[in-house]
Amino acid sequence: MTTTAVTTPASGPVPGAAPELRVERLSIRFGQGESLNRVLEGLELSVAAGEFISIVGPSGVGKTTLLRCLSGLVQPTEGQVYVRGEAIKEPHPAVGVIFQDYSRSLLPWMTTAENIAFPLEGRFDKKERVARAEAALSSVGLAGQGRKYPWEMSGGMQQRVAIARGLAYEAKILLMDEPFASVDAQTRLNLEDLVADLQEKLGLTVVLVTHDIDEALYLSDRVVVLAGKPAAVVETLDTNFGDHRDQAATKSDPRFGEARTKILGILGH
């Protein structure tokens, strides 16, 4: 890994530091009476600065609801989410979200550069916004593509733009909801490596929701398994395949296979 930036914080949790993201006795229920839907119950979670965690679990278990709660889009029925020690009631400025349906979260009436620069309005002047958008595009491998519209790009490129938008926003915590679910397999591997690379370079804290166990194991420091109805954390698995990973080598590591077997066992396969 080349280190170009002035400060290059190492990835991985810093011992003793306050958690970047903390969830306390979180419960989410929808509806009332007969139609009461208990989605999450008494969930506890703590993510250290610079840590990469994945949340896996069966479809419909409440992974996306949990992520929306972390992003401040959904208010929990009980419990509290803390971002950098602050109890949140609405989206926190340090948090960026990468949505699953990138083609809908990018605004089709703006060019990619405008899409990236748009959330910076009010914080920087125009010149600075343009410069930051261009820098963010370069960091996701799309230098010089700012004048294209999102709909002129492939799915993978659009998701790169969405990631660039989060980076330009200077999000320190990236919440990703199935970000690679709707791109082809090859693009998916490329995007995984891009995210791993950026996370390490920028010292980002990442929470990734996915139902792909290989992806979770490959990218994360820690995999959190959600299951049950209402859902709770049934297993937390530290991955120990080292910091520098490689699609072929890491995935053929025997420890990788053991971890995968263990999670599959928990999920009942």
Partner 1 sequence: MGILRKSVERLWLVVVLIVLWWFASAGSTSIFYPSLDTIVSTLWTDLASGLLIGYLGFSLGNLLAGLALALILGIGLGLLIGEIRWLGEAVEPFVDFLRSIPQVAIIPLIIGTFGLDAGPKIYSIAAGCIFPILLNTIDGVRGIEPTVRRFGKVYRISGPRYFRKVVLPGALPQIMAGVRVALPIGITVMVVSELYAARMGIGFYILNSSSTFHLTETWAGAVLVGIVGYLISIIFNLIERGSLRWYFKSGATTK
- Per the listing, tokens 């990734």 go with 208
Q: Which is nearer to partner 1, 25 or 104 (CB)?
A: 104
For partner 1, the binding residue among 47, 53, 61, 97 (CB under 8 A) is 97
Is 131 a binding residue for partner 1 by CB under 8 A? The answer is: no
The whole-angstrom separation of Cα 244 and Cα 227 is: 30
Is 169 a binding residue for partner 1 by CB under 8 A? The answer is: yes
The whole-angstrom separation of Cα 174 and Cα 92 is: 11
Q: CB of 42: closest distance to partner 1 in angstroms?
A: 26
The whole-angstrom separation of Cα 47 and Cα 112 is: 31
Number of amino acids touching partner 1 (CB under 8 A): 26
219 dihedral zone (left: phi>0; alpha: psi -120 to 50; beta) = alpha
For partner 1, the binding residue among 9, 72, 155, 230 (CB under 8 A) is 72
Q: CB of 243: closest distance to partner 1 in angstroms?
A: 29
- Per the listing, tokens 């660039």 go with 164
At position 67, the amino acid (one-letter code) is: L
Characterize the bridge pairing of strands 95-98 and 78-83.
Answer: unpaired
Q: Which is nearer to partner 1, 169 or 256 (CB)?
A: 169
DSSP 8-state code for residue 90 = S
> Binding residues for partner 1, per CB under 8 A?
68, 71-73, 90-91, 93, 95-97, 99, 101, 104-105, 107-109, 118-119, 121-122, 149, 151-152, 165, 169
